[in-house]
Protein backbone atom coordinates (compact mmCIF):
# COMPACT_ATOMS: atom_id res chain seq x y z
CA UNK A 1 0.00 0.00 0.00
CA UNK A 2 1.05 3.55 -0.46
CA UNK A 3 -0.44 6.52 1.30
CA UNK A 4 -2.95 7.34 -1.41
CA UNK A 5 -6.30 6.68 0.08
CA UNK A 6 -8.50 9.65 -0.35
CA UNK A 7 -10.24 9.25 -3.64
CA UNK A 8 -12.52 6.32 -3.18
CA UNK A 9 -13.53 7.49 0.21
CA UNK A 10 -14.87 10.85 -0.67
CA UNK A 11 -14.70 13.80 -2.88
CA UNK A 12 -12.97 16.26 -0.66
CA UNK A 13 -12.92 19.63 -2.30
CA UNK A 14 -10.20 21.76 -0.87
CA UNK A 15 -11.91 24.96 -1.69
CA UNK A 16 -10.11 28.02 -0.50
CA UNK A 17 -12.32 29.81 1.91
CA UNK A 18 -13.71 32.46 -0.32
CA UNK A 19 -17.22 33.19 0.75
CA UNK A 20 -18.53 33.87 -2.73
CA UNK A 21 -17.27 30.56 -4.00
CA UNK A 22 -18.42 28.48 -1.12
CA UNK A 23 -21.93 29.76 -1.32
CA UNK A 24 -22.49 28.51 -4.83
CA UNK A 25 -20.73 25.20 -4.61
CA UNK A 26 -23.18 23.09 -2.72
CA UNK A 27 -24.10 19.74 -4.08
CA UNK A 28 -27.45 19.52 -5.76
CA UNK A 29 -29.11 16.87 -3.71
CA UNK A 30 -28.00 18.14 -0.36
CA UNK A 31 -30.10 20.70 1.38
CA UNK A 32 -26.98 22.79 1.89
CA UNK A 33 -23.59 22.51 3.48
CA UNK A 34 -23.61 21.46 7.09
CA UNK A 35 -21.37 23.79 9.04
CA UNK A 36 -18.83 22.11 11.26
CA UNK A 37 -16.97 24.32 13.68
CA UNK A 38 -13.86 22.65 15.00
CA UNK A 39 -11.78 23.95 17.85
CA UNK A 40 -9.03 22.28 19.85
CA UNK A 41 -11.64 20.89 22.24
CA UNK A 42 -14.96 20.93 20.41
CA UNK A 43 -16.54 19.65 17.24
CA UNK A 44 -19.86 21.40 16.63
CA UNK A 45 -21.83 19.91 13.77
CA UNK A 46 -24.68 22.29 12.91
CA UNK A 47 -27.21 19.52 12.37
CA UNK A 48 -27.12 15.87 13.33
CA UNK A 49 -29.31 14.65 10.46
CA UNK A 50 -29.27 14.61 6.70
CA UNK A 51 -31.07 13.02 3.81
CA UNK A 52 -29.35 10.19 1.97
CA UNK A 53 -27.20 11.19 -0.96
CA UNK A 54 -24.32 13.60 -1.23
CA UNK A 55 -23.89 15.24 2.12
CA UNK A 56 -21.69 18.30 2.24
CA UNK A 57 -19.86 19.32 5.38
CA UNK A 58 -18.12 22.64 5.57
CA UNK A 59 -15.48 22.45 8.23
CA UNK A 60 -14.02 25.58 9.77
CA UNK A 61 -11.07 25.16 12.07
CA UNK A 62 -11.29 27.83 14.75
CA UNK A 63 -8.73 26.08 16.91
CA UNK A 64 -4.97 26.47 17.02
CA UNK A 65 -4.10 22.90 16.05
CA UNK A 66 -4.31 21.43 12.59
CA UNK A 67 -7.37 19.24 12.49
CA UNK A 68 -9.11 16.54 10.47
CA UNK A 69 -12.75 15.72 10.00
CA UNK A 70 -14.13 12.21 9.52
CA UNK A 71 -17.43 10.53 8.91
CA UNK A 72 -17.46 6.96 10.18
CA UNK A 73 -19.95 4.17 9.60
CA UNK A 74 -20.33 1.18 11.92
CA UNK A 75 -17.07 -0.32 13.01
CA UNK A 76 -15.19 2.88 12.27
CA UNK A 77 -15.37 2.40 8.54
CA UNK A 78 -14.21 5.67 7.03
CA UNK A 79 -16.90 7.07 4.74
CA UNK A 80 -15.08 10.32 4.11
CA UNK A 81 -12.35 12.48 5.52
CA UNK A 82 -10.62 15.79 5.07
CA UNK A 83 -7.12 16.01 6.43
CA UNK A 84 -4.78 18.83 7.22
CA UNK A 85 -7.22 21.63 7.95
CA UNK A 86 -4.93 24.36 9.26
CA UNK A 87 -5.95 26.89 11.89
CA UNK A 88 -8.43 29.38 10.47
CA UNK A 89 -8.99 27.36 7.33
CA UNK A 90 -12.23 26.20 5.86
CA UNK A 91 -12.56 22.94 3.95
CA UNK A 92 -15.37 21.04 2.37
CA UNK A 93 -16.13 17.37 2.50
CA UNK A 94 -18.71 15.85 0.20
CA UNK A 95 -19.55 12.29 0.98
CA UNK A 96 -22.22 10.02 -0.35
CA UNK A 97 -24.09 8.51 2.58
CA UNK A 98 -26.86 5.92 2.40
CA UNK A 99 -29.41 5.86 5.20
CA UNK A 100 -27.93 4.76 8.49
CA UNK A 101 -26.23 5.74 11.70
CA UNK A 102 -22.86 7.42 11.50
CA UNK A 103 -20.36 9.20 13.66
CA UNK A 104 -18.65 12.47 12.90
CA UNK A 105 -15.25 13.23 14.35
CA UNK A 106 -12.85 16.14 14.53
CA UNK A 107 -9.26 15.29 15.29
CA UNK A 108 -7.42 18.33 16.61
CA UNK A 109 -3.71 17.66 16.28
CA UNK A 110 -4.66 14.89 13.79
CA UNK A 111 -4.32 12.26 16.52
CA UNK A 112 -6.43 9.86 18.50
CA UNK A 113 -10.05 8.82 18.06
CA UNK A 114 -11.23 12.39 17.80
CA UNK A 115 -14.19 14.23 19.23
CA UNK A 116 -17.13 12.10 18.21
CA UNK A 117 -20.78 12.85 17.61
CA UNK A 118 -23.78 10.91 16.30
CA UNK A 119 -25.06 11.57 12.80
CA UNK A 120 -28.19 10.09 11.26
CA UNK A 121 -29.00 9.76 7.58
CA UNK A 122 -32.51 8.96 6.39
CA UNK A 123 -34.21 8.32 3.08
CA UNK A 124 -32.78 6.81 -0.08
CA UNK A 125 -29.61 7.87 -1.81
CA UNK A 126 -30.02 9.25 -5.28
CA UNK A 127 -28.03 6.59 -7.02
CA UNK A 128 -30.19 3.89 -5.55
CA UNK A 129 -32.99 5.55 -7.46
CA UNK A 130 -30.99 5.88 -10.61
CA UNK A 131 -31.09 2.46 -12.29
CA UNK A 132 -27.99 3.14 -14.40
CA UNK A 133 -25.88 3.98 -11.40
CA UNK A 134 -27.31 1.14 -9.39
CA UNK A 135 -26.52 -1.30 -12.17
CA UNK A 136 -22.97 0.00 -12.40
CA UNK A 137 -22.43 -0.39 -8.68
CA UNK A 138 -23.88 -3.89 -8.66
CA UNK A 139 -21.80 -4.93 -11.61
CA UNK A 140 -18.68 -3.75 -9.87
CA UNK A 141 -19.67 -5.46 -6.64
CA UNK A 142 -19.76 -8.71 -8.59
CA UNK A 143 -16.29 -7.99 -9.90
CA UNK A 144 -15.05 -7.30 -6.39
CA UNK A 145 -16.58 -10.55 -5.14
CA UNK A 146 -14.74 -12.47 -7.83
CA UNK A 147 -11.47 -10.87 -6.80
CA UNK A 148 -11.98 -11.42 -3.08
CA UNK A 149 -12.76 -15.09 -3.67
CA UNK A 150 -9.52 -15.58 -5.55
CA UNK A 151 -7.67 -13.44 -3.04
CA UNK A 152 -8.77 -15.81 -0.28
CA UNK A 153 -7.82 -18.92 -2.23
CA UNK A 154 -4.43 -17.69 -3.37
CA UNK A 155 -3.50 -16.18 -0.04
CA UNK A 156 -4.30 -19.53 1.59
CA UNK A 157 -2.00 -21.31 -0.87
CA UNK A 158 0.67 -18.71 -0.22
CA UNK A 159 0.36 -18.99 3.54
CA UNK A 160 0.46 -22.78 3.36
CA UNK A 161 3.64 -22.69 1.31
CA UNK A 162 5.25 -20.22 3.69
CA UNK A 163 4.42 -22.33 6.72
CA UNK A 164 5.66 -25.47 5.00
CA UNK A 165 8.97 -23.75 4.28
CA UNK A 166 8.46 -24.15 0.53
CA UNK A 167 10.29 -20.97 -0.33
CA UNK A 168 10.28 -21.21 -4.13
CA UNK A 169 6.60 -22.04 -4.22
CA UNK A 170 5.82 -19.19 -1.85
CA UNK A 171 7.87 -16.79 -3.96
CA UNK A 172 5.91 -17.80 -7.04
CA UNK A 173 2.59 -17.33 -5.26
CA UNK A 174 3.42 -13.98 -3.70
CA UNK A 175 2.80 -11.74 -6.73
CA UNK A 176 -0.18 -13.83 -7.81
CA UNK A 177 -2.04 -13.48 -4.52
CA UNK A 178 -1.20 -9.80 -4.37
CA UNK A 179 -2.68 -9.15 -7.82
CA UNK A 180 -6.17 -9.85 -6.48
CA UNK A 181 -5.51 -7.46 -3.66
CA UNK A 182 -4.12 -4.72 -5.86
CA UNK A 183 -7.07 -4.81 -8.27
CA UNK A 184 -9.43 -3.79 -5.50
CA UNK A 185 -7.03 -1.90 -3.29
CA UNK A 186 -9.11 1.27 -2.82
CA UNK A 187 -12.04 -0.82 -1.63
CA UNK A 188 -9.80 -2.60 0.84
CA UNK A 189 -8.49 0.74 2.02
CA UNK A 190 -11.93 1.70 3.25
CA UNK A 191 -11.07 -0.52 6.18
CA UNK A 192 -8.33 1.65 7.53
CA UNK A 193 -7.25 -0.62 10.36
CA UNK A 194 -6.71 -3.82 8.40
CA UNK A 195 -5.07 -2.41 5.32
CA UNK A 196 -1.75 -1.46 6.99
CA UNK A 197 -1.62 -4.81 8.80
CA UNK A 198 -2.01 -6.67 5.50
CA UNK A 199 -0.10 -4.48 3.09
CA UNK A 200 2.04 -2.02 5.07
CA UNK A 201 5.49 -1.31 3.71
CA UNK A 202 8.41 -1.51 6.12
CA UNK A 203 9.44 2.10 5.44
CA UNK A 204 5.97 3.34 6.38
CA UNK A 205 6.12 1.93 9.88
CA UNK A 206 6.45 4.31 12.79
CA UNK A 207 8.85 3.62 15.64
CA UNK A 208 7.41 0.73 17.63
CA UNK A 209 4.96 -0.50 14.96
CA UNK A 210 5.06 -4.16 14.23
CA UNK A 211 5.96 -5.20 10.69
CA UNK A 212 3.32 -7.68 9.52
CA UNK A 213 1.49 -8.89 6.45
CA UNK A 214 2.55 -9.57 2.89
CA UNK A 215 5.66 -7.44 2.96
CA UNK A 216 7.01 -8.96 6.18
CA UNK A 217 6.82 -12.37 4.59
CA UNK A 218 8.27 -10.96 1.37
CA UNK A 219 11.34 -9.93 3.35
CA UNK A 220 11.62 -13.39 4.89
CA UNK A 221 11.42 -15.01 1.47
CA UNK A 222 13.76 -12.81 -0.51
CA UNK A 223 16.14 -11.33 2.06
CA UNK A 224 16.26 -13.76 4.95
CA UNK A 225 15.64 -16.81 2.79
CA UNK A 226 14.08 -18.38 5.86
CA UNK A 227 10.40 -18.64 6.76
CA UNK A 228 10.80 -20.61 9.96
CA UNK A 229 9.71 -17.67 12.08
CA UNK A 230 6.84 -16.71 9.81
CA UNK A 231 4.15 -19.06 11.08
CA UNK A 232 2.31 -16.54 13.28
CA UNK A 233 2.71 -13.77 10.70
CA UNK A 234 1.25 -16.01 8.00
CA UNK A 235 -1.66 -17.06 10.21
CA UNK A 236 -2.40 -13.45 11.07
CA UNK A 237 -2.25 -12.46 7.41
CA UNK A 238 -4.78 -15.15 6.53
CA UNK A 239 -7.06 -14.12 9.38
CA UNK A 240 -6.84 -10.45 8.34
CA UNK A 241 -7.58 -11.31 4.73
CA UNK A 242 -10.62 -13.36 5.74
CA UNK A 243 -11.86 -10.53 7.90
CA UNK A 244 -11.40 -7.83 5.29
CA UNK A 245 -12.96 -9.99 2.57
CA UNK A 246 -15.98 -10.48 4.79
CA UNK A 247 -16.27 -6.76 5.33
CA UNK A 248 -15.72 -5.94 1.67
CA UNK A 249 -18.37 -8.39 0.58
CA UNK A 250 -20.84 -6.80 2.98
CA UNK A 251 -20.12 -3.31 1.73
CA UNK A 252 -22.49 -1.61 -0.64
CA UNK A 253 -20.56 0.44 -3.10
CA UNK A 254 -21.92 3.34 -5.09
CA UNK A 255 -21.12 4.63 -8.53
CA UNK A 256 -19.26 7.66 -7.26
CA UNK A 257 -16.90 5.36 -5.38
CA UNK A 258 -16.27 3.42 -8.58
CA UNK A 259 -15.43 6.54 -10.52
CA UNK A 260 -13.11 7.84 -7.84
CA UNK A 261 -11.65 4.40 -7.31
CA UNK A 262 -10.72 4.12 -10.98
CA UNK A 263 -8.53 7.19 -10.58
CA UNK A 264 -7.27 6.22 -7.12
CA UNK A 265 -5.88 2.99 -8.59
CA UNK A 266 -4.00 4.98 -11.20
CA UNK A 267 -2.60 7.21 -8.47
CA UNK A 268 -1.37 4.01 -6.83
CA UNK A 269 0.78 3.52 -9.90
CA UNK A 270 2.01 6.93 -10.85
CA UNK A 271 2.33 8.95 -7.64
CA UNK A 272 5.92 9.53 -6.55
CA UNK A 273 5.46 7.07 -3.67
CA UNK A 274 3.35 4.76 -5.82
CA UNK A 275 4.30 1.51 -7.51
CA UNK A 276 6.47 3.41 -9.97
CA UNK A 277 8.91 4.15 -7.15
CA UNK A 278 9.74 0.46 -6.87
CA UNK A 279 9.16 0.73 -3.12
CA UNK A 280 6.10 -1.50 -2.95
CA UNK A 281 7.82 -4.83 -3.42
CA UNK A 282 11.27 -3.68 -2.56
CA UNK A 283 12.55 -7.12 -1.58
CA UNK A 284 11.01 -9.21 -4.35
CA UNK A 285 11.04 -6.73 -7.24
CA UNK A 286 7.61 -7.96 -8.34
CA UNK A 287 6.20 -4.43 -8.52
CA UNK A 288 5.10 -4.79 -12.13
CA UNK A 289 2.54 -7.41 -11.15
CA UNK A 290 1.00 -4.98 -8.69
CA UNK A 291 1.20 -2.15 -11.14
CA UNK A 292 -0.55 -4.17 -13.84
CA UNK A 293 -3.21 -5.24 -11.34
CA UNK A 294 -3.88 -1.62 -10.35
CA UNK A 295 -4.42 -0.78 -14.00
CA UNK A 296 -6.73 -3.79 -14.47
CA UNK A 297 -8.71 -2.81 -11.41
CA UNK A 298 -9.10 0.72 -12.68
CA UNK A 299 -10.31 -0.60 -16.00
CA UNK A 300 -12.80 -2.89 -14.29
CA UNK A 301 -14.35 0.08 -12.52
CA UNK A 302 -14.64 1.95 -15.82
CA UNK A 303 -16.14 -1.19 -17.42
CA UNK A 304 -18.88 -1.19 -14.82
CA UNK A 305 -19.53 2.48 -15.51
CA UNK A 306 -19.39 2.00 -19.27
CA UNK A 307 -23.16 2.00 -19.92
CA UNK A 308 -23.59 5.18 -17.89
CA UNK A 309 -20.65 6.94 -19.50
CA UNK A 310 -21.70 5.75 -22.96
CA UNK A 311 -25.06 7.38 -22.42
CA UNK A 312 -23.86 10.56 -20.79
CA UNK A 313 -20.51 11.37 -22.31
CA UNK A 314 -19.41 9.02 -25.09
CA UNK A 315 -16.57 11.38 -26.05
CA UNK A 316 -15.04 11.11 -22.61
CA UNK A 317 -15.48 7.34 -22.64
CA UNK A 318 -13.69 6.97 -25.95
CA UNK A 319 -10.86 9.16 -24.70
CA UNK A 320 -10.59 6.99 -21.60
CA UNK A 321 -10.61 3.86 -23.77
CA UNK A 322 -7.86 5.17 -26.03
CA UNK A 323 -5.69 6.09 -23.12
CA UNK A 324 -6.19 2.70 -21.49
CA UNK A 325 -4.87 1.12 -24.65
CA UNK A 326 -1.74 3.27 -24.51
CA UNK A 327 -1.21 2.68 -20.79
CA UNK A 328 -1.71 -1.07 -21.11
CA UNK A 329 0.84 -1.20 -23.90
CA UNK A 330 3.52 0.44 -21.75
CA UNK A 331 3.15 -2.35 -19.19
CA UNK A 332 2.35 -5.27 -21.49
CA UNK A 333 5.70 -5.00 -23.17
CA UNK A 334 7.36 -6.11 -19.94
CA UNK A 335 5.37 -9.31 -19.74
CA UNK A 336 7.30 -12.55 -19.41
CA UNK A 337 5.15 -15.66 -19.66
CA UNK A 338 2.27 -15.25 -17.23
CA UNK A 339 4.15 -12.70 -15.21
CA UNK A 340 6.38 -9.69 -15.54
CA UNK A 341 10.00 -8.69 -15.54
CA UNK A 342 11.64 -7.82 -12.27
CA UNK A 343 11.38 -4.16 -11.51
CA UNK A 344 15.10 -3.51 -11.62
CA UNK A 345 15.13 -4.58 -15.26
CA UNK A 346 13.13 -1.50 -16.22
CA UNK A 347 15.03 1.49 -17.53
CA UNK A 348 14.22 5.04 -16.47
CA UNK A 349 12.78 5.50 -19.95
CA UNK A 350 10.42 2.55 -19.40
CA UNK A 351 9.23 4.06 -16.13
CA UNK A 352 8.77 7.47 -17.69
CA UNK A 353 6.60 5.96 -20.41
CA UNK A 354 4.40 4.30 -17.81
CA UNK A 355 4.02 7.46 -15.73
CA UNK A 356 3.27 9.57 -18.80
CA UNK A 357 0.60 7.19 -20.06
CA UNK A 358 -1.00 6.70 -16.66
CA UNK A 359 -1.03 10.43 -15.88
CA UNK A 360 -2.64 11.12 -19.25
CA UNK A 361 -5.23 8.43 -18.49
CA UNK A 362 -6.15 9.78 -15.10
CA UNK A 363 -6.64 13.30 -16.41
CA UNK A 364 -9.61 11.69 -18.18
CA UNK A 365 -10.78 9.15 -15.59
CA UNK A 366 -10.89 11.97 -13.04
CA UNK A 367 -13.68 13.55 -15.08
CA UNK A 368 -15.90 10.45 -14.92
CA UNK A 369 -17.30 11.34 -11.50
CA UNK A 370 -18.67 14.54 -12.99
CA UNK A 371 -20.98 12.51 -15.23
CA UNK A 372 -22.72 10.67 -12.44
CA UNK A 373 -24.60 13.55 -10.94
CA UNK A 374 -26.33 14.56 -14.13
Question: 23 vs 46, which CB is nearer to other proteins?
Answer: 23
Whether the CB-CB separation of 155 and 241 falls below 8 Å is answered with: yes
Question: 147 vs 304, which CB is nearer to other proteins?
Answer: 304
- Residue 264 touching other proteins (CB under 8 A): no
- Residue 18 touching other proteins (CB under 8 A): yes
Stretch of 102-110, 191-199, 283-291, 356-364 lying at the interface with other proteins (CB under 8 A): 356-364
Question: 167 vs 360, which CB is nearer to other proteins?
Answer: 360
In the 8-state DSSP scheme, what is residue 40? Answer: S
- Residue 288 touching other proteins (CB under 8 A): no
Q: How many residues sit close enough to other proteins to count as binding (CB under 8 A)?
A: 33
Whether the CB-CB separation of 187 and 144 falls below 8 Å is answered with: yes
Whether the CB-CB separation of 296 and 329 falls below 8 Å is answered with: no
Stretch of 18-26, 189-197, 266-274, 298-306 lying at the interface with other proteins (CB under 8 A): 18-26
Question: 45 vs 94, which CB is nearer to other proteins?
Answer: 94
- In sequence order, the 6+-apart residues with CB closer than 8 A to the CB of 279 are 2, 201, 203, 273
**Residue 371 and residue 302: Cα distance in Å, rounded?**
12
Question: 23 vs 223, which CB is nearer to other proteins?
Answer: 23
Q: Which of 70, 19, 59, 68 is nearest to 37 (CA)?
A: 59
**Residue 132 and residue 152: Cα distance in Å, rounded?**
30
Whether the CB-CB separation of 101 and 57 falls below 8 Å is answered with: no
Using CB under 8 A, which of 28, 168, 203, 225 touches other proteins?
28
**Residue 290 and residue 180: Cα distance in Å, rounded?**
9
List the beta strands (DSSP E) in the chain: 34-38, 43-45, 49-51, 53-61, 67-73, 77-85, 90-97, 100-106, 115-122, 335-336, 339-340
Query: For other proteins, what does the binding mask look like between residues 205 and 244, x meaning CB under 8 A?
Result: ----------------------------------------
- Residue 361 touching other proteins (CB under 8 A): yes
Helix H or strand E encompassing 23: helix 19-23
Stretch of 10-18, 198-206, 235-243, 271-279 lying at the interface with other proteins (CB under 8 A): 10-18
- Residue 374 touching other proteins (CB under 8 A): yes
- Residue 35 touching other proteins (CB under 8 A): no
Whether the CB-CB separation of 214 and 180 falls below 8 Å is answered with: no
For 209, 211, 244, 277, 279, the CA distances from 206, given in Å and listed in that order, are: 5, 10, 23, 20, 17
Residues in the chain: 374
Question: 16 vs 203, which CB is nearer to other proteins?
Answer: 16
Question: 27 vs 148, which CB is nearer to other proteins?
Answer: 27
- Residue 373 touching other proteins (CB under 8 A): yes
**Residue 6 and residue 79: Cα distance in Å, rounded?**
10
Question: 126 vs 183, which CB is nearer to other proteins?
Answer: 126
Question: 148 vs 330, which CB is nearer to other proteins?
Answer: 330
What are 97's strand-pairing partners? 53
3-state secondary structure of 353: helix
- Residue 313 touching other proteins (CB under 8 A): no
- Residue 94 touching other proteins (CB under 8 A): yes
Using CB under 8 A, which of 326, 339, 342, 351 touches other proteins?
326
User: Which residue ranges make up the site for other proteins (CB under 8 A)?
Assistant: 11, 13, 15-16, 18, 21, 24-28, 92, 94, 256, 259, 315, 323, 326, 352, 356-357, 359-361, 363-364, 366-367, 369-370, 372-374
Amino acid sequence: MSTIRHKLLAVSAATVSIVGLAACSESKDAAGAIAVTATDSKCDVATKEAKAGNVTFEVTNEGKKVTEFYVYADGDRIMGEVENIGAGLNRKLIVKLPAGEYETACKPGMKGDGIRGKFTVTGEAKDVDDPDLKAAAEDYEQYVKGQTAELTTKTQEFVDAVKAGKIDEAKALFPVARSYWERIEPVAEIFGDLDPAIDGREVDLAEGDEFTGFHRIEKALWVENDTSQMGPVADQLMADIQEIVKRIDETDLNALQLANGATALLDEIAAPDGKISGEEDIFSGTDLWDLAANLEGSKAAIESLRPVLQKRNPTLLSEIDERFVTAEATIAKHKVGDGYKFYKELTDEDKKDIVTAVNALKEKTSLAAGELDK
